[in-house]
């Protein structure tokens, strides 16, 4: 599985995430008998009544000396509604750090005579998880199991600003959000207010990994990935 450095770029985004779009249709089969995975459920990140595409979630694999800060990033193998899966990864400690999506904004220009010219601009939008939210998602992934990261609800801060900017994001973001925003887009700090790449903050409202939540997520996993060879991994789900 490849590390990712720049997840969003205004013009090349459709190409960068084209693999994610294909992956959303069908789960990859287990790479071995010890193949492992993660399932997590989060709320719909798109604006109400606003179509969006290329939804993905960024995960980090942690190392002993770094806390929840890591440079080893991965993105979802499969998205089914509000369920996100990371599959065939190296076992270890993982956290979820950001949700992203794209949306197109159309502008209509009346050319006269009943003719209308429609032009559009693609926006790449990044929702960086707060330190508290990231820590809540931490889970150990063991060989041959599907780790249940849990179900979370969060508010999205900064998205409804009149002209959301990187400067506004950086002023209010915590150190975990800043670190992962810079890893996702190393050019973040050079982007002006008119940039098509936006950054927002996710603040934890609730989270659950209790037995009922686990049961529901595993039942969904059976429907989403069980037929692709992950049924035994689901049976041995831990955490």
Task: Check residue 114 and give its pLDDT.
Answer: 67
Task: Check residue 25 and give its pLDDT.
Answer: 72
Task: Check residue 123 and give its pLDDT.
Answer: 63
Q: In this model, does residue 224 exceed pLDDT 70?
A: yes
As for how many domains the chain has, the answer is 1
143-179 pLDDT, tens digit each: 999 999 999 999 999 887 656 788 889 999 999 999 9
Instruction: State the Cα–Cα distance between residues 237 and 98, nearest whole angstrom.
Output: 24
Task: Check residue 34 and give its pLDDT.
Answer: 94
Task: Check residue 122 and give its pLDDT.
Answer: 53
Asked whether residue 33 is domain-assigned, the answer is: yes
Average pLDDT along the chain: 83
Asked whether residue 6 is domain-assigned, the answer is: no
Asked whether residue 49 is domain-assigned, the answer is: yes
Q: Domain range for residue 132?
A: 13-235
Asked whether residue 3 is domain-assigned, the answer is: no
How confident is residue 1, by pLDDT bands cut at 50, 70 and 90? very low
Indicate the pTM of the whole model.
0.82
Asked whether residue 7 is domain-assigned, the answer is: no
Q: In this model, does residue 95 exceed pLDDT 80?
A: yes
Q: In this model, does residue 11 exceed pLDDT 70?
A: no
Average pLDDT over residues 126-153: 96
Share of the chain above pLDDT 90, in %: 59
18-61 pLDDT, tens digit each: 233 333 478 999 999 999 999 999 998 887 767 778 899 999 99
Task: Check residue 23 and give its pLDDT.
Answer: 39
Asked whether residue 76 is domain-assigned, the answer is: yes
Q: In this model, does residue 86 exceed pLDDT 50?
A: yes
Task: Check residue 72 and give its pLDDT.
Answer: 96
Query: Using CA of residue 188, residue 7, residue 194, residue 180, what is the dihedral sign?
Result: negative
Residues ≥6 apart with Cβ < 8 Å to 18:
none
Instruction: State the Cα–Cα distance between residues 85 and 40, nearest whole angstrom.
Output: 7
Closest CA to 84 of 33, 126, 45, 32: 45
How confident is residue 4, by pLDDT bands cut at 50, 70 and 90? very low
Specify the higher pLDDT residue, 162 or 91. Answer: 91
Asked whether residue 5 is domain-assigned, the answer is: no
């Amino acid at each position: 599985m490849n590390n990712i450095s720049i997840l969003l770029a205004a013009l090349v985004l459709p190409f960068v995430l084209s693999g994610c779009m294909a992956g959303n249709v069908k789960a990859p089969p287990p790479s071995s008998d010890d193949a492992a995975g993660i399932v997590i459920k989060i709320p719909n990140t798109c604006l109400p009544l606003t179509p969006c595409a290329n939804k993905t979630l960024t995960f980090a694999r942690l190392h002993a000396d770094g806390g929840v800060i890591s440079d080893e990033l991965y993105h979802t193998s499969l998205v089914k509604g509000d369920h996100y899966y990371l599959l065939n990864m190296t076992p270890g400690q993982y956290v979820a750090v950001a949700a992203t999506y794209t949306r197109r904004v159309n502008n209509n220009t009346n050319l006269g005579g009943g003719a209308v010219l429609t032009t559009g601009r693609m926006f790449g939008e990044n929702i960086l998880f707060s330190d508290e939210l990231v820590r809540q998602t931490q889970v150990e992934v063991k060989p041959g199991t599907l780790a249940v990261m849990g179900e979370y609800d969060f508010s999205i801060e900064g998205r409804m600003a009149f002209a959301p900017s990187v400067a506004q994001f950086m002023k209010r973001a915590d150190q975990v959000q800043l670190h992962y925003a810079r890893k996702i887009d190393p050019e973040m700090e050079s982007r002006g207010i008119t940039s098509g790449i936006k950054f927002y903050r996710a603040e934890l409202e609730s989270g659950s990994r209790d037995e009922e939540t686990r049961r529901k997520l595993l039942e969904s996993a059976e429907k989403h990935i069980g037929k692709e060879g992950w049924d035994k991994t689901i049976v041995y789900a831990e955490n």
